[in-house]
Copies of this chain bind each other. A is one copy, B any other.
């Protein structure tokens, strides 16, 4: 707060935010906040036969329409058997559409159907509402800091995926 980041000096109050106690608190904050983060969509999904895995699939298919199964696998960080089970139910229920690739027929391109988009909207509305409230209360600078830390915390590979999605959406 007082001064920027006096990294050069190893000692002193500058690095108070790096004490073990501070880090422990941050770990707990991350844990509790993530609980809140997923709570709203979870409540909606529980009424259907769906779980968090379905939400994640729907989110990223919406975010990167036409994405292939393989690409989605990388984003979600699960095995294809795991994803396949989720995808199968979503396709069977008419929320997701799978198209054989034109240039490469081995690939399946995934899109949300109208019903899929509706559910996606419902879920993400709930999640964004909480986010928006938190962001509004915390203010722009806190939000900027929030995102900086989150991005720094990711694995490099995830950071790349994240950046690419960001460009898409922007």
Contact = CB atoms under 8 A, between A and B. Distances in A.
Interface of A: 1-2, 4-5, 7, 14, 17-18, 20-21, 23-37, 39, 56, 59, 63, 77, 124, 127-128, 130-155, 158-159, 161-162, 165-166, 169-170
B158 A32 contact: yes
B147 A144 contact: no
11 contacts: A24-B169, A25-B165, A26-B135, A28-B162, A29-B154, A29-B162, A30-B34, A32-B154, A35-B155, A142-B146, A142-B149
Give how many copies assemble into the complex: 2
A22 to B, nearest CB: 8
Nearest to A151: B29
Contact of A145 (B2, B14, B63, B146): B146
